[in-house]
Structure 1
Amino acid sequence: MSWPSSAALGLAAALACTLAATAAEFGRPASPEEIRLWDIDVRPDGRGLPEGRGSVARGSQVFEENCAACHGESGQGGIADRLAGGNGSLASDHPVKTVGSFWPYATTLFDYVRRAMPYPAPQTLSDDDTYAVVAYLLNLNGIVPADATLDRASLPAIRMPNRDGFVPDREFITIHNSRQSSASKP
């Protein structure tokens, strides 16, 4: 019988200590303020959208200053994903997935831009500028007119062209339906 290496013994000791530790030994509960800073998700129905508003015209300026270097002029031709065009291409041999052809909810676009853009400085756009960029992108895709101004009331009302293109897995539908029926029972 051979003795385990010191590295293996150290790993086993660390694992044993980790398993025996309680949550309190690893940190503290987050404060309401800390939770508020991270709780920025926006749901498809618009829950979570902040106050603010933004126009297509302002969005064009914000896009030029923060987005065009990666996504190209008018959302096409840059080094990053194409954002405009592709309408009717999803069923083809060469689908073009853009904001207008692929995304199912305008609110999801807002959530993504707010949380992840602009690269490499995510979460630096104001809520007003995020609404404006979203308005501009939706206009580039022919979804809203050039004089549109979006806010937390108007954004969820936008029906994206591919809204019905996403079908949940049967497993999700089963889980969702069972949760709804158990929640409605007295």
Structure 2
Amino acid sequence: MSMRSLIATALVVSLADLAAAEGPGLGAPLAADEIPFYATYVMPDGRGLPAGSGTAAEGAGIYAAKCALCHGATGVEGPVMPPVGPNDVWAKPAGRYWPYATTIFDYVRRAMPLDEPKSLSDAEAYALTAFILSRNGVIGEGDAMSAQTLPDVVMPNRENFVDVWATQGVTPW
């Protein structure tokens, strides 16, 4: 047997051994309470949404204090992508563009405010999501957003997205 064949055989046997193993044996699994909230995902159907709720009225005060500097006093002006529109700059801002309301919540909770990401409580993230959706006319001003109500919000541009999972015959949620 040539050296090349011997190496190839050893590699195949080693790969087979790895495939049969349960993993590389690195680290230890984390308990649910050890995983930070921002390392979990919110699915379009609402799986992963935390407890809590918020309304647009509650979100208005949070928006004024934590968001208006970047997104404008009413959510239309900017200078950073305004979440309300359409307007002169953005034809489809956050409240009208995203296919699922749960995605807005997940993004707001993980990435906002820009100068202090991951600092919002779940209730603040629900309230800000409600504020954005209400200002865009997607929900009423008094509608409370929660793990039960947010997945039921039908976004106005949902049908203009291609569901890559569905095209593959897969439904991850």
Give the structure-1-normalised TM-score.
0.71
2:72 aligned partner: 72
Correspondence list, 1:126-165, <5 A: 126-165=121-160
| Runs ≥4 residues deviating over 2 A | 27-31, 33-40
Correspondence list, 1:4-153, <5 A: 28-32=27-31, 33-86=33-86, 96-153=91-148
Q: Give identity over the alignment, percent.
A: 40
**Aligned CA distance change for structure 1 residues 45 and 78 (closer, same or farther; 3 Å):** same
Aligned length: 148
**Aligned partner of 2:131: which letter?**
Y
Deviation track 1:48-84 (CA, whole Å, cap 9, x = no partner) reads 0000010111100000010000000121212211111
Note if contact 1:86-1:100 (Cα within 8 Å) is conserved in structure 2: no
Give the structure-2-normalised TM-score.
0.76
Deviation track 1:94-124 (CA, whole Å, cap 9, x = no partner) reads 8612123311110000000001111111111
**Aligned partner of 2:138: which letter?**
I
Shift in Å, 1:38: 4.6
SS in 1 for 2:54: strand
Deviation track 1:2-59 (CA, whole Å, cap 9, x = no partner) reads xxxxxxxxxxxxxxxxxxxxx66xx633532433545421011100000001011110
Q: Quick one: distance in 1 between partners of 2:98 and 2:37? A: 26
Give the CA RMSD over aligned residues.
Answer: 2.4
**Aligned CA distance change for structure 1 residues 151 and 108 (closer, same or farther; 3 Å):** same
**Aligned CA distance change for structure 1 residues 161 and 121 (closer, same or farther; 3 Å):** same
**Aligned CA distance change for structure 1 residues 38 and 109 (closer, same or farther; 3 Å):** closer
**Aligned CA distance change for structure 1 residues 143 and 38 (closer, same or farther; 3 Å):** closer
Structure 2 alignment gaps of length 5 or more: 1-23
Q: Quick one: distance in 2 between partners of 1:47 and 1:128? A: 17
